[in-house]
Amino acid sequence: MKVIKAMGNDERKKKIGELKFELVKSKAGAAKTGGSKIKEIKKAIARILTLEKSLGKESGESKLLKRKISKEKS
Q: Where are the beta strands (DSSP E) in 1-74?
A: none
Report pTM: 0.68
Domains of the chain: 2-73 (1.10.287)
CA dihedral 2, 15, 23, 61 (to 10 degrees): 80
Whole-Å CA distances, 9 to 27, 46, 55, 64, 66: 27, 15, 10, 20, 16
CA 10, CA 24: separation in Å to the nearest integer? Answer: 21
Each residue's pLDDT tens digit, 6-60: 888 888 889 999 999 999 988 887 767 667 888 999 999 999 999 888 887 666 6
**In this predicted structure, what is the pLDDT of residue 48?**
92
Q: Are 38 and 30 in contact (CB under 8 A)?
A: yes
